[in-house]
Amino acid sequence: QVQVVESGGGLVQAGGSLRLSCAASGSVYIINDMGWYRQAPGEQREVVATVTRDNSTNYADSVKGRFTISKDNAKNTVYLQLDSLKPEDTAVYYCNIKGISVFRRFDSWGQGTQVIVSS
């Protein structure tokens, strides 16, 4: 079984920065796609940024040029650097990791970490 745990959320003023981390642990054999999603109150969950096994990245238009996704394969960890934060970035941020464990494919979500951007 694979567990995914996020950290790094918090309260920040507009224009500030945060760095989110997400680590997968357990019976991880191969990690394929890693990504960050967010859900604001009353809204649907949306993709923020993703990175594939071969390091191809994609970003939502709303965060391009402000957020950066990166990963550390040795640590089974994905990061999201959030710069130039805006109040509209306020949301719960979720990490998703897809891969293969010792026994089967997995598609695991973290519990979420709150990001609040004050104006």
pLDDT for 1 equals 83
- Chain segment 40-87, per-residue pLDDT in tens: 999 999 999 999 999 999 999 999 999 999 999 999 999 999 999 999
Distance of CA 43 to the CA centre of its chain: 18
> What are the angstrom distances between the C-alpha of 60 and each of 26, 69, 105, 106?
30, 12, 26, 24
- Give yes or no for residue 102 having a pLDDT over 90: no
- 54's CB contacts (< 8 A; 6+ apart) are none
How many CB atoms lie under 10 A from the CB of residue 88? 11
